[in-house]
Amino acid sequence: MSDSLVTAILRKGYLERMKKWKTMPVQDGYRMPGEFEPHRGCVMIWPVRPGSWPDGAKEAQRTFTEIARAIAQSEQVWMLASSQHVKQVQEVFTDCPAVRVLEIETDDAWARDVGPTCVVSAEGDVRGIDWQFNAWGGEWDGLYAHWEKDNLVASRICEALEMDCYDAQHFVLEGGSIHSDGEGTVLVTEACLLSRGRNPHMSKSEIEETLKEYLGAQKVIWLPRGIDQDETNEHVDNVCAFVRPGEVVLAWTEDEQDPQWELSHASLQVMEQETDARGRKFQVHKLLIPKKPVCITEEELAGFVFEEGEDQRSAGERLAASYVNFYIANGAVLVPQFGDEHDEPARKLLGELFPERKIIPVFARPVIVGGGNIHCITQQIPLGKGEAG
């Protein structure tokens, strides 16, 4: 397949064959796999937005390049870029054929949240889900005023990768707000999914039923909160993640004066009382957050160029740093690092939990300054029929 979206969507007869489904994935026999399962690869987006990435995104681009190259050691990476940046990105990865560039316009670089959530059937078919994206809260508390390009990204990725797609544009959801064990259990946070800027016309039970229908899940576990100061309304992927069915890591602090202490204890209480869809009690591994709060500096703040209506930061503002926001590649686990004394314990614990994978530390400050972390900038694409992980 060509690296250009234009070439991809013009392939003879493909648009006629590609279908946008309005049925429910669960009725069609599809489920959301766990991120630890073998997969085809992941999608990333080249960072350029001046209101997210300071100083022309130079540091962010270097870090995205490092991350893409690390992931590409064991799986395919599709890097999305706008028409004015395609050649630049192709030159960056000219010696790395496992990174392929797709010309797709976006508003920012959060592939996990704007890309399609993929579901798979027992026969190995893969389909995407095209949720509505409204910049984490729309007119209520969205982070930027215009998100039209981002809302088109999921369907365009499906076109480019030749996947059929479920139309879920009636439901606001980001990929980072859900986490699946691949066996019918999904984790979410109340702070995010019940926020006024998502689906205020729906009750909690209606939201839960929608998740079950689209993700092929039997049980949704609601954690009360996420990471303190997480501007996504506290996505679950920053606070709690499956490492395998029945086993999770939970962001943790022993500092009772830290605002995170109460939030993490509330999540632990839920996980200790709950069972998964198959009736198993959870094994919870506590993964410490950085000991020293990660805060944005005056120097970093001076490098931003904000648009009208875009969320603006303040010097000294605490960022939502968490080691839970790691990425599971087929052959490695990429672990965010913050120059903190808890960096090494995080690498050690995740190495014990993923003994079959290489642990790759990535200095994540250039990403977290943009408002996210390693997991946020990657969206997995599962294996299809006949493909090897």
Looking at the DSSP assignment, which residues form a beta bridge with residue 343? Answer: none
CB neighbours (10 Å) of residue 372?
A: 28
Residues in the chain: 389
CA distance 136 to 189: 14
313: its two tokens: 């930061």
The one catalytic residue in 42, 192, 240, 376 is: 376
Residue 214 three-state SS: helix
Q: CB atoms < 10 A from the CB of 25, how many?
A: 24
CA–CA dist 57, 61 (Å, integer): 6
- Residue 129, SS3 per DSSP: strand
Question: CA–CA separation, 219 vs 167, rounded Å?
Answer: 22
- CA atoms within a 13 Å half-sphere pointing along the CA-CB vector of 34: 15
CA-based max dimension of the chain: 61
List, as one string, the DSSP characters of 63-103: HHHHHHHHHTTTSEEEEEE-TTTHHHHHHHTTT-TTEEEEE
* DSSP run (H or E) holding 20: strand 20-21
**251 neighbors 289 (Cβ within 8 angstroms):** yes
How far is 63 from 226, CA to CA, in rounded Å?
25
User: Rounded to an integer, what distance in angstroms lies between the CA atom of residue 291 and that of residue 35?
Assistant: 27
Q: Is 158 a catalytic residue?
A: no
CA distance readout (Å), 358 to 74, 237, 286, 348 = 11, 21, 21, 11
DSSP notation for 236-254: GGGTEEEEETTEEEEEE--
Catalytic positions: 376
